[in-house]
Structure 1
Amino acid sequence: MRHGAYEGHRPSYHAPHEAALTQNGREQIPRSLPLPEGITAIVTSPIPHARQTATLVAHLTGLPIVATSGLLAEWRAQSNVLGRTAETYPPAYRTWRARHLASPSLRCEDGESLTDLHTRARHCATFLQHTALRHGPLLAVSHTLFLGVLTHLQEGPAAFVTPPREPRGSSPSAACSPTASPRHCTFRDMNDEGPTVRPPPMTCWTQAATPWRFHCMSRSCESS
């Protein structure tokens, strides 16, 4: 599940970690229900607007939050772009943006490189599978860019910017099932706003072995 709308939420905006859900963000959550059938537990990013989203879902559904993991956190931008939009990005960050696809291991100051992000997403996929084996099918609450990479691991670091075709008006959810083979996840997006880079589509992903395979779950979803 992508978190609800937060304070300052707009395109090309790098939210400060402390940004909280807005009233609109809180109102989005009941509209996202019901969740996919069979979910028995929630895992969440520790970033406050994701954690608040998970807490509200837990309250509305009665599902327990069984883990809070930094593996589900959003891509870490360099500190001095937090709270900024594209018009005020510093020169070093603009230079990094121009070079990051050609050099995915390149970092900008204290930010994550695309290679760092993809490696974390691979570790997160393993974490979700192991957690689902203990707790049953999971709802994972996370963030736009990270979910885009997590749901397209086979594309490597380039998944950061490869835009999928996305069904409009879809509601958010991400469910991970521990069934022996294959494992399944369903992703739906809560927001029509937010970063324009790669919001995840409504997708089912299965893994009997690598690589991940993706199948559209929505009647309105277009093939990519």
Structure 2
Amino acid sequence: MADIWLMRHAAYEGHRAGYHAPHEAPLTVEGRDQARRSLPLPEGITAIVTSPIPRARQTATLVAHLTGLPIVATSGLLAEWRAPSIVLGRTAETYPQAYRAWRARRLANPSLHCEDGESLTDLHIRARRCAAFLHLTAHRYGPLLAVSHTLLLGVLTHLTEGPAAFTTAARMPWQFAERRLFTVLQPTAPPLQSSPR
């Protein structure tokens, strides 16, 4: 099986601890520099896939431009955990009570949603599908770089923990533009059909 390298997007505007970034937040100048400094890529990578969220897509596009590698797919399977819209652009000290209540119950009931947010169970199911998608894409294109987001990457690399992987992911964030080799050996869910961008 071809290697799959996972990479977190680079720094984006407005980032701070506990902040739920709006999806449209673009890379900063420092973020673009981080993407450049992430090179060279591990030997053998032949293609890139990315989340559609701008900070990941911009990171992938810059890496593709600098390396000449093609972006062969943009997939929502690689998108960050979908936080409820009531917390987007907010930090922990300004979280609404509904979100605080959900956080207190989310591990006991991982299928629980907070308004329009993604439940921990839904995120875990999507991460399983993402693993299958990555393996299928690597089988088709060869060694792969997948650009995504810290919580999704954390869940993806701790699939065996089930929905509780969200907690592990939150405790062990990835640094901006950090890469890790994906070591899940086999896909854990049937792949979804995904058309190249």
TM-score, scaled relative to structure 1: 0.76
| Rounded Cα–Cα distance in structure 1 between residues aligned with 2:120 and 2:55 | 23
- 1:163-210 Cα distance to aligned partner (Å, 9 max, x none): 699799896225xxxxxxxxxxx1xxxxxxxxxxxxxxxxx5141586
- Give the one of 57, 67, 78 matched to 2:63: 57
Using CA pairs below 8 Å that are at least 6 residues apart, which structure has the higher relative contact order? Answer: 2
Which one-letter code corresponds to 2:102 in the other structure? W
- Give the one of 6, 18, 21 matched to 2:12: 6
- Give the one of 141, 148, 170 matched to 1:142: 148
What does residue 185 of structure 2 align with?
207
- Give the one of 64, 83, 87 matched to 2:93: 87
| Rounded Cα–Cα distance in structure 1 between residues aligned with 2:35 and 2:26 | 14
Which one-letter code corresponds to 2:139 in the other structure? L
Q: Which runs of structure 2 are paired with 1:14-93 in the superposition (5 Å)?
A: 14-93=20-99
| Rounded Cα–Cα distance in structure 1 between residues aligned with 2:9 and 2:37 | 13
Provide closer, same or farther for how the CA distance between residues 68 and 209 of structure 1 changes in structure 2, counting only shifts above 3 A: closer
| Rounded Cα–Cα distance in structure 2 between residues aligned with 1:74 and 1:117 | 9
Q: Is the 8 A contact 2:131 2:187 kept in 1?
A: no
Deviation at 1:140, TM superposition (A): 0.1
What does residue 115 of structure 1 align with?
121
Deviation at 1:36, TM superposition (A): 1.3
Provide closer, same or farther for how the CA distance between residues 22 and 102 of structure 1 changes in structure 2, counting only shifts above 3 A: same
| Rounded Cα–Cα distance in structure 2 between residues aligned with 1:152 and 1:60 | 31
| Rounded Cα–Cα distance in structure 2 between residues aligned with 1:95 and 1:169 | 29
Q: Is the 8 A contact 1:36 1:173 kept in 2?
A: no
In structure 1, stretches of 5+ residues that fail to align are: 175-185, 187-203, 211-224
- Give the one of 79, 93, 103 matched to 1:97: 103
- 1:35-66 Cα distance to aligned partner (Å, 9 max, x none): 11110000000000100000000011110000
Percent identity over paired residues = 76
- 1:19-50 Cα distance to aligned partner (Å, 9 max, x none): 00011111101111111111000000000010
Q: How many residues align?
A: 182
| Rounded Cα–Cα distance in structure 1 between residues aligned with 2:14 and 2:112 | 28
Q: Is the 8 A contact 1:71 1:124 kept in 2?
A: yes
Provide closer, same or farther for how the CA distance between residues 15 and 171 of structure 1 changes in structure 2, counting only shifts above 3 A: closer
Give the CA RMSD over aligned residues. Answer: 2.1
Which one-letter code corresponds to 1:207 in the other structure? L
Q: Is the 8 A contact 1:104 1:114 kept in 2?
A: yes
Q: What SS does the aligned partner of 1:43 have?
A: strand
Provide closer, same or farther for how the CA distance between residues 164 and 21 of structure 1 changes in structure 2, counting only shifts above 3 A: closer
Q: Is 2:133 the partner of 1:155? A: no
| Rounded Cα–Cα distance in structure 2 between residues aligned with 1:21 and 1:32 | 15
